[in-house]
Amino acid sequence: MSAIDPDVSQWEAWRPEEVTRLLEGVRVPWYVAAGWALELFRGEQRREHQDLELAVPNTRFDEIAEVLAELEIFVITDRAEATPLGAARDRLFATHQTWIREPATGKWRLDVFREPSDGNTWICRREPTIRMPYHTLIEWTDDGIPYGRPEVVLLFKARHAQQEKNQGDFEATVPLLDAARLDWLRDALARVHPGHPWLDTL
């Protein structure tokens, strides 16, 4: 199968609890990322989500792919094409998004981010000097759903702060962050996005 132009209208993402059941027992340090992670941190859903993003170490993606073997796995390239995993293995470390499609329905169910890592340490793909142990990066809901720390999620959302959903996520989450989280976000933002407007609020 060759690369396709993915139909984004066919997104019908699973919810975090569904994926948690699917990946039960997987030993890879995976976590819910992006907008859903902030909802899990706050303990409430404040908006609709088109997709669901997970993040995993790029060197251990095959362990996740094995669990998802009955689904269709596509690597998203810089041209926004979706290339089947088997034909894109030479691009796994030059890209980071992996879209998962359910064959029976043709629906996109999941977006898996393949993140740089060094053993048990997460590495920020936008600034490699920003690092964090996975046991610190990953937090958990009371019912056992792993999610990325909110300050890390906001660092990635900052690139597209002009989007209403990202600005809204920032405004809803920052008041809940303690001093240590705010300090981390302020420092990371200044390094990745010097002069970012969010710095005035922080």
Torsion of the alpha carbons at 119, 122, 127 and 130, rounded to the nearest 10:
-100
Sheet arrangement for strand 121-123: 117-118, 121-123, 131-133
- Identify the pLDDT of residue 28: 96
- Identify the pLDDT of residue 44: 87
In DSSP terms, 118 is beta-bridged to 121
Question: What are the pLDDT digits (tens) for 34-50?
Answer: 999 999 999 988 888 88
Q: Is the pLDDT of residue 56 over 80?
A: yes
d(CA 66, CA 95): 19
Residue with tokens 């404040």: 46
Q: Is the pLDDT of residue 119 over 80?
A: yes
Torsion of the alpha carbons at 57, 97, 99 and 49, rounded to the nearest 10:
100
- Domains annotated on the chain, with CATH: 8-149 (3.30.460.40)
Classify burial at 189, counting beta carbons within 10 Å of its beta carbon; exposed 0-12, middle 13-18, buried 19 or more. Answer: buried
- Identify the pLDDT of residue 38: 97
Q: Is the pLDDT of residue 178 over 70?
A: yes
Structure tokens, 25: 């027992």
Mean pLDDT of the chain: 94
Structure tokens, 17: 């609890």
Q: Is the pLDDT of residue 146 over 70?
A: yes
Residue 191's pLDDT band (boundaries 50, 70, 90)? very high
Structure tokens, 51: 């997709």
d(CA 139, CA 106): 32
Question: What are the pLDDT digits (tens) for 74-111?
Answer: 999 877 899 999 888 988 888 999 999 999 999 999 99
